[in-house]
Amino acid sequence: MRNLIAFAALAAAAPAAPALAQTSQDEQVWVNVTLMGSAKDDLLYFVEAQPRLMEGLSEMRQALLRGAIGWKLNDRLSIYQGYAYVAQPVEGAAPDRDEHRSFQQVSWTLLPGATELSSRTRFEQRWITGFDDTGWRLRQMVRLETPLAAGAKPLKALFSVEGMVAFNDTDWGARSGFDQVRSFAGFEVPLKGKTTVEAGYLNQFVNRPGNANAVNHVASVSLFIRP
């Protein structure tokens, strides 16, 4: 319980300091459907689709498709190579700013058990349609889940924090240094088999050039299908 309280405090505090410099806020909904599992023995996979409603829930400004193939090194450590496509339509005559990403991922269970602490490290190479530069970004997420009741498939509380750092400037607008932080608090609801739904509140602080920072308040709902 002491670890849970400490992690919850970290998740709440993470966006607080940078939010003081915010210049815009938005209410959003992110819906995620992920199919994940083992293709054969230690060969892993996941495929996900994520539409995002933005601008006060009035427009779908992003839609993300992401997939990866991985390898289970042991019961606590897995590695992946993946690809993501992010559709980002632009209003008017301007061309869309669709994004392509290659990424490498390490998933690690730091503390196994009923209360589980895990880590996800993702290194991305990013390209925007119509531009030349490649953006390099590191993402680090720490996640805590703990049961709220006894039983084989209990309701769980979830907390996570993910920070992102860019390594270079690009001609499409990325700037080296701190990029954004996402803090999440919610619940994991067990469904049939190993399938679960995760729902809660996500606070996204985005560090933009010229102090044009953004804070997004996101209702996040994710379905994880594990055959």
What DSSP assignment string belongs to 35-46?
Answer: EEEEEETTEEEE
Range ranked top by mean pLDDT from 12-26, 128-142, 208-222: 128-142
Question: Which pLDDT score is estimated for 159?
Answer: 98
Question: Would you place residue 23 in the very low, low, confident or very high pLDDT band (cuts 50, 70, 90)?
Answer: low
Question: Would you place residue 211 in the very low, low, confident or very high pLDDT band (cuts 50, 70, 90)?
Answer: confident
Asked if residue 156 has pLDDT above 60, the reply is yes
Tokens of 123: 């290194």
- What is the residue-wise DSSP string for 8-24? HHHHHHTTHHHHTT--E
Tokens of 90: 């632009």
Alpha carbon distance 34, 49 (integer Å)? 7
Residue 96 in 3-state DSSP? coil
Domain ranges of the chain: 2-225
Mean pLDDT of 199-208: 96
Residue 173 in 3-state DSSP? coil
- What is the residue-wise DSSP string for 28-90? EEEEEEEEEEEEETTEEEEEEEEEEEETTTTEEEEEEEEEEEEEE-SSSEEEEEEEEEEE---
Mean pLDDT of 70-74: 98
Class assignment of domain 2-225? Answer: mainly beta
Mean pLDDT of 194-200: 97
For the chain, give the percent of residues with pLDDT over 70.
Answer: 89
Tokens of 168: 């270079």
Question: Would you place residue 151 in the very low, low, confident or very high pLDDT band (cuts 50, 70, 90)?
Answer: confident
Asked if residue 54 has pLDDT above 60, the reply is yes
Question: Which pLDDT score is estimated for 16?
Answer: 45
Question: Which pLDDT score is estimated for 152?
Answer: 86
Alpha carbon distance 65, 67 (integer Å)? 7
Contact 203, 215 (CB under 8 A): yes
**DSSP 8-state code for residue 210:** G
Asked if residue 227 has pLDDT above 90, the reply is yes
C-alpha count within 13 angstroms, C-beta hemisphere, residue 23: 8
Mean pLDDT of 84-112: 90
Mean pLDDT of 124-147: 97
